[in-house]
Structure 1
Amino acid sequence: MYKSMYVAASGALASRVKLDTIANNLANVNTPGFKNDKLVFESYLNKQATQAGGVSSAKNQGQAYMRQAEYVAPAEQYTDFSQGPLRVTDSPLDVALQGDGFIAVSTFEGERYTRNGTMQVGPNGELVTSAGNVVISDTNEPIYVNYGFVTIDEDGNVWVRGGSGVGHFDGKLSTGVFGENAGRIKLVDFPKPYGLVKEGSGLFRASDPNEARAPEGLKVVQGHLEGSNVNMIR
């Protein structure tokens, strides 16, 4: 009796975890850059009954098998990092990532990584995410645009025309066809992205930041956002 209750409880718990995961995925179906979570379950037998004594006949073997209890439990939860669809926003501060990689941002807890390219100008004229985290350059500095006209190329270089106070980067600015280069967005990738820790608000934490490397084939698309990769049909 108790064994059947434990089996039922394990199934109910597994269903609860699955429903919670699905609910979180659906809640973020419209969140830019969101990566959906998936679950893997495993089942196992409680063989205590058969190990208690020897089985001497086919009849006893059948009875012993019937006394075994099959439990189910979540074995692993992982993040699906497949590409999401790109949609046009026409906002010069929106960027979508096309390919494998992440945007590096500075938070109170340290460096984090995101695929959500919704950006805005912070109180000091720097690029920040919609959550207020500072978008950092490949030299680990803020990128000051100071309300100027911003162009971001496919390599993540931020060019500024007009505005005021771009002198934040005196001696470090270069001039090109799009204006002055205020810095290059720090873009990183990881050899094992499934090892990243999902923290919420579209942020990921690396258990070993030293594993960060320059991405290969990653393109930054200005005026676009990457949609979530949640598939509502499956």
Structure 2
Amino acid sequence: MYVAVSGAIAAQKRLDSIANNIANVNTAGFKSDKLVFESYLAKSEREGEPGAPVKGKGAAALRQAEFVVATESYADYTVGSIRETGSPYDIAIAGNGFLSVMTYEGERFTRAGNLSKNEDGALVSSQGYPVLDETNRLIYVNDKYVTIDKEGSVWLTNNEEFQEYSDYAGKIKIVEFLKPENLVKEGNGLYRSDNPAEGFAARDTRVIQGSLESSNVNIIREMTAMIQNQRITESYTKVIQTSDQMTGTLLSNLGRP
């Protein structure tokens, strides 16, 4: 029964992850979540941790049981497909870089390039967080026409059909990380780096104006995984129900002649 309970809990965590991926299938720059599952005994033996003492009948069998545990969650940083939108404030990041934005909690990083300008004329993310330039300052675009080149430099002009760039507004800060798997996913497409030394100015990343990176969620794969997970959950539930019934029968027969 305990094995089934641990399996049911793990299946629920997997379902939560799948549901979140499906909910963000149309979210620009979203990176799907993956879960890693391990057996409890295998984990304990590898880390040299003694298991909890088990006494009484069935102890030997219980020691051999492997309890399923979700050990970690990580983001799949595979680049999503790039689609054209035509909006001058939309940018797709081709490569492994992240945009830098300033939140109330400090600097954060995102792949979501659906930008806009706020009432002060500053370039902001879809959540309204200011986009930083290479000197960690805000980029002001005011009411002018915006052109963003492949390096992330922002140029402004008063004429939509311009021949030459008129004003330089700044260069969008794009950061790559030595170990992106160490980034902490905070929600709303934001990531936190607890080790600034791992970040550096992007070298292998280019910016595509008028386009967005789509979510990298594979909807067919996620729906298939959801169906499989539901079947697994049903199996664990049946085991738990059967165990409950057997326990109830055993208790009802106690004390009978």
For normalisation by structure 2, the TM-score amounts to 0.76
2:40 is equivalent to residue 44 of structure 1 = yes
1:160 positional shift:
0.2
Which amino acid in structure 1 is aligned with residue 198 of structure 2? E
Instruction: Quote the residue 1:84 is aligned against.
Output: 80
Q: Which of 180, 190, 196 is 2:183 aligned to?
A: 196
Q: 1:168-221 CA distances to partner (integer Å, 9 max, x unpaired)?
A: xxxxxxxx9222110000000110001001111110000112321012210100
CA distance in 2, matches of 1:82, 1:97: 12
1:68 positional shift:
2.4
CA distance in 1, matches of 2:52, 2:193: 44
CA distance in 2, matches of 1:229, 1:67: 41
Instruction: Quote the residue 1:185 is aligned against.
Output: 172
Report SS of the residue matched to 1:135. coil
Regions of 4+ moved over 3 Å: 44-52, 63-67
The change in CA–CA distance for 1:87 and 1:68 in structure 2 (over 3 A counts) is same
Higher helix proportion (structure 1 or 2): 2
Instruction: Quote the residue 1:233 is aligned against.
Output: 220
Q: 1:34-67 CA distances to partner (integer Å, 9 max, x unpaired)?
A: 0011011011349979998xxxxxxxxxx95586
Consecutive unaligned residues in structure 2, runs of 5 or more: 45-49, 222-257
Instruction: Quote the residue 2:252 is aligned against.
Output: none
2:211 is equivalent to residue 215 of structure 1 = no
Report SS of the residue matched to 2:11. helix
Which amino acid in structure 2 is aligned with residue 215 of structure 1? A
Instruction: Quote the residue 1:26 is aligned against.
Output: 22
For normalisation by structure 1, the TM-score amounts to 0.83
1:75 positional shift:
1.7
Are 2:97 and 2:175, in contact at CA under 8 Å, matched by a contact in 1?
yes
The change in CA–CA distance for 1:48 and 1:151 in structure 2 (over 3 A counts) is closer
Percent same amino acid at aligned positions?
52
Let me know the Cα RMSD of the aligned residues.
Answer: 2.3
The change in CA–CA distance for 1:211 and 1:161 in structure 2 (over 3 A counts) is same
Instruction: Quote the residue 1:15 is aligned against.
Output: 11
Are 2:182 and 2:193, in contact at CA under 8 Å, matched by a contact in 1?
yes
Report SS of the residue matched to 2:40. strand
Are 2:93 and 2:213, in contact at CA under 8 Å, matched by a contact in 1?
yes
CA distance in 2, matches of 1:124, 1:33: 26
CA distance in 2, matches of 1:118, 1:35: 15
The change in CA–CA distance for 1:134 and 1:49 in structure 2 (over 3 A counts) is closer
CA distance in 1, matches of 2:146, 2:29: 22
Higher strand proportion (structure 1 or 2): 1
2:101 is equivalent to residue 105 of structure 1 = yes
Instruction: Quote the residue 2:152 is aligned against.
Output: 156
Are 1:10 and 1:73, in contact at CA under 8 Å, matched by a contact in 2?
yes
CA distance in 2, matches of 1:140, 1:49: 51
CA distance in 2, matches of 1:131, 1:77: 24
